[in-house]
Amino acid sequence: MFKELKQINSRPAPFQFYTADELWANEHTSKQMLEYHLNEAIDVSSRNKSFIERSLDWIVAHFGVDDKTTIADFGCGPGLYTTRLAERGATVTGIDFSENSLKYAKQVAEQKGLKINYVHTNYLDFETTHRFDLITMIMCDFCALSPEQRRIMLSKFSSILKPDGSVLLDVYSLNSFNQKEESATYELNQLNGFWSPDDYYCFVNTFKYDEEKVTLDKYSIIDESKKHVVYNWLQYFSQETLKKEFEENGFEVKEFYSNVAGGAFDPDSSEFALVARK
């Protein structure tokens, strides 16, 4: 038992493990994530409905979205943005790891008579011959990727953008990092049965990596028959570090905002958004 508890509470190296499939490809947890996505009143897997509507209005106006605009939304989930962008006339591709979310998105598109290209894959593996005017990655998905994975994404973005195409994404700020604290807890059926339909205990370890500006929520899920671990990594940025990362990968950073609804940049915000051009 001591060895087991020691392993549960062990601190891995930053981004040492990658377990995205446990969230997005697992049948049970992906259904739970879809329910969070579709709850219009909360900001968990997706922004609340009011924010999404404001965000869409700003995106359409700022990037001149019309029936000639091609857009790729990485991490599109159940189509909360792709559906609305297609309704504004854009030609839209949505990429997501969750089959359940894409099934829902496709049903909505069919009901509304919208032609949206949905691709079921880990967006790190996404390949296409199409070129886009705008790439979006919303809800701070960029922060969940390791430095090497982010280089892969930025190279991918560059290769599929049209000349003068734009990238819009949001990230967690250093203010948010500074508010995080390390902790260790355990609970029966933690998150109201999120991890399994059967009874389980979940040990949650939150680690901070001060030098790298990274946090980890490590979930050790134990039921009667098995144990598995899910690693939720988050990278936090300043304007300077995010700009440097984009510029090192061939982009020109054009603007910073407090969010993807075009709010004026606030240095005290827990998040901020970037617009970059190829």
Summarised one tens digit per residue, pLDDT across range 133-156 is 999 999 999 999 999 999 999 999
**3-state SS class at 253:** strand
Per-residue confidence (pLDDT) for residue 23, from 0 to 100 = 75
Residues pairing with 117 in the sheet: 93
264 and 129: one domain?
Answer: yes
CB 97 within 8 A of CB 119: no
CA dist 175 to 84, 165, 210, 270, Å?
31, 30, 13, 5
89 and 206: one domain?
Answer: no
Summarised one tens digit per residue, pLDDT across range 224-243 is 999 999 999 999 999 999 99
158 and 242: one domain?
Answer: yes
211 and 268: one domain?
Answer: no
Per-residue confidence (pLDDT) for residue 38, from 0 to 100 = 67
CB 80 within 8 A of CB 138: no
Checking if the pLDDT of 254 tops 70, the result is: yes
163 and 60: one domain?
Answer: yes
Mean pLDDT of 198-222: 97
Per-residue confidence (pLDDT) for residue 41, from 0 to 100 = 54
217 located within any domain:
yes
Checking if the pLDDT of 25 tops 80, the result is: no
Its pTM stands at 0.93
Range of the domain at 205: 2-11+176-234
Report how many domains make up the chain. Answer: 2
